[in-house]
């Protein structure tokens, strides 16, 4: 929760960074995924690149307006124990039959939701609905990127169980904002996925393998820095408390390229899912849809989502409570 102080006429705000990958990273990942696509798709997607980029953050905004949105962004693997990936059915209906929908929702439904979004995108391609193709593509990209964040796979998602509050924003927002300018984002061409459902689960498996390192290495580094972990930066007309550049740089170095690798994985995986949905829909000719423009009704819906986001109507996980003016 942010606390506001008056200090020499300037608003001093204690904030956590933006939720999930951070708006910056989500937008960058979606935008770059377009350039993995083959000629049959890339023209349509590049024509709408700003939409795909901007809408990458819509699921984050919707969390404040739609109560059931939040569980779509994570899976608390450690709640289910060591046998999570063999115990939990990858089929949603079978998982509900075994555990009940309420329990599944309580601990996150991210991989199941990714597969559902893939099916929606495939269907949108089938009926040649350009607006739906673009919106579902953008939102599917968001959830896939979330699956590649290690802290989206643990109950200790913000270090709140180990005295490391703020690590979520440090890993997925502060580090990309400071260092992604030097990353290599050439990830090759989109490829067909034989089993999209299993691909979604494999992303969770791979991400979860990094959780111990993410938490343990930050804990060790923090013990050396103590209060020097933090600094203040001016953003617009406010001053915000942030992780210090030196601290962020040391943590980034210790992680050994992990953030870059997970961003690259996200970009490639998004392109793969978009391409697979198109192939599975029968490879419709997108050149016929390239002149699509959003309707006034769609624009009104976008404005309404933004209004609800600013109102912060539903409480979300602690690290995700951010101000609407950021």
| DSSP character string of 297-310 | HHHHHHHHHHHHHH
Q: Indicate the burial class of 314 (C-beta count within 10 angstroms; 0-12, 13-18, 19 or more).
A: middle
Tokens standing for 148? 């590649």
- Per cent of the chain over pLDDT 90 is 76
Q: Work out the average pLDDT over 277-297.
A: 91
Does pLDDT of 300 surpass 80?
no
Q: Let me know: does 205 contact 147? Beta carbons within 8 Å.
A: no
pLDDT at 219: 97
Residue with tokens 């000719």: 285
Q: Let me know: does 289 contact 44? Beta carbons within 8 Å.
A: yes
**DSSP-assigned letter for residue 318:** G
Does pLDDT of 52 surpass 50?
yes
Tens of pLDDT, residue by residue over 233-255, are 998 899 999 999 999 999 999 99
Does pLDDT of 93 surpass 80?
yes
Task: Measure the CA dihedral 214/323/138/182, to 10°.
Answer: -50
Residue 296: pLDDT band (50, 70, 90) is confident
Does pLDDT of 10 surpass 90?
no
CA 210 to chain CA centroid, nearest Å? 16
pLDDT at 81: 86
pLDDT at 303: 67
CA distance 88 to 110: 13
Work out the number of other CB atoms within 10 angstroms of the CB of residue 75: 28
Which has the higher per-residue pLDDT, 232 or 3? 232
Mean pLDDT, all residues of the chain = 88
Does pLDDT of 7 surpass 70?
no
Q: Which residues of 288-301 are buried (b: 16+ CB within 10 A; e: fewer)?
A: ebeebebeeeeeee
pTM: 0.87
CA distance 106 to 108: 6
Which has the higher per-residue pLDDT, 216 or 83? 216
CA angle 64, 17, 110 (to 5 degrees): 55
Q: Work out the average pLDDT over 113-135.
A: 97
Q: Work out the average pLDDT over 274-285.
A: 98
pLDDT at 311: 65
CA distance 209 to 326: 32
- Mean pLDDT is lowest, of 5-14, 152-161, 301-310, for 5-14
Does pLDDT of 123 surpass 60?
yes
CA distance 196 to 104: 20
CA distance 173 to 235: 15
Task: Compute CA distances 164 → 212, 284, 287, whole Å.
Answer: 13, 49, 50
What strands lie across the sheet with 230-235, from one edge to the other?
A: 3-7, 10-14, 238-243, 230-235
């Amino acid at each position: 929760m942010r606390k506001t102080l008056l200090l020499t006429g300037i608003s001093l705000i204690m904030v956590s960074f933006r939720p999930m990958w951070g708006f910056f990273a989500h937008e960058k990942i979606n935008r770059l995924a377009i350039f993995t696509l083959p000629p049959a798709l890339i023209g349509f997607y590049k024509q709408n690149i700003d939409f795909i980029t901007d809408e990458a953050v819509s699921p984050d905004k919707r969390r404040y307006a739609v109560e059931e949105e939040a569980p779509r962004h994570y899976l608390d693997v450690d709640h289910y124990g060591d046998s999570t990936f063999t115990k939990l059915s990858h089929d949603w209906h079978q998982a509900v039959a075994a555990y009940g929908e309420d329990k599944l929702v309580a601990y996150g439904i991210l991989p199941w939701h990714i597969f559902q979004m893939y099916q929606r995108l495939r269907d949108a391609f089938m009926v040649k609905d350009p607006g739906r193709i673009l919106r579902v593509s953008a939102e599917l990209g968001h959830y896939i990127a979330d699956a590649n964040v290690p802290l989206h796979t643990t109950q200790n998602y913000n270090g709140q169980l180990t005295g490391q509050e703020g690590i979520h924003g440090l890993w997925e927002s502060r580090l990309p904002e400071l260092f992604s300018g030097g990353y290599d984002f050439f990830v090759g061409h989109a490829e067909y996925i034989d089993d999209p459902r299993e691909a979604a689960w494999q992303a969770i498996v791979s991400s979860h393998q990094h959780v111990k390192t993410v938490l343990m290495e930050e804990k060790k580094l923090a013990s050396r820095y103590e209060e020097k972990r933090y600094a203040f930066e001016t953003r617009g007309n406010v001053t915000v408390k942030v992780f210090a550049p030196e601290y962020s740089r040391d943590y980034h170095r210790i992680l050994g390229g992990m953030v870059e690798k997970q961003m690259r994985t996200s970009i490639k995986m998004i392109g793969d899912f978009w391409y697979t949905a198109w192939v599975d829909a029968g490879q419709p000719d997108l050149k016929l849809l390239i002149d699509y423009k959003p309707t006034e009704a769609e624009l009104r819906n976008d404005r309404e989502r933004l209004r609800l986001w600013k109102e912060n109507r539903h409480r979300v996980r602690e690290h995700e409570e951010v101000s609407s003016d950021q």
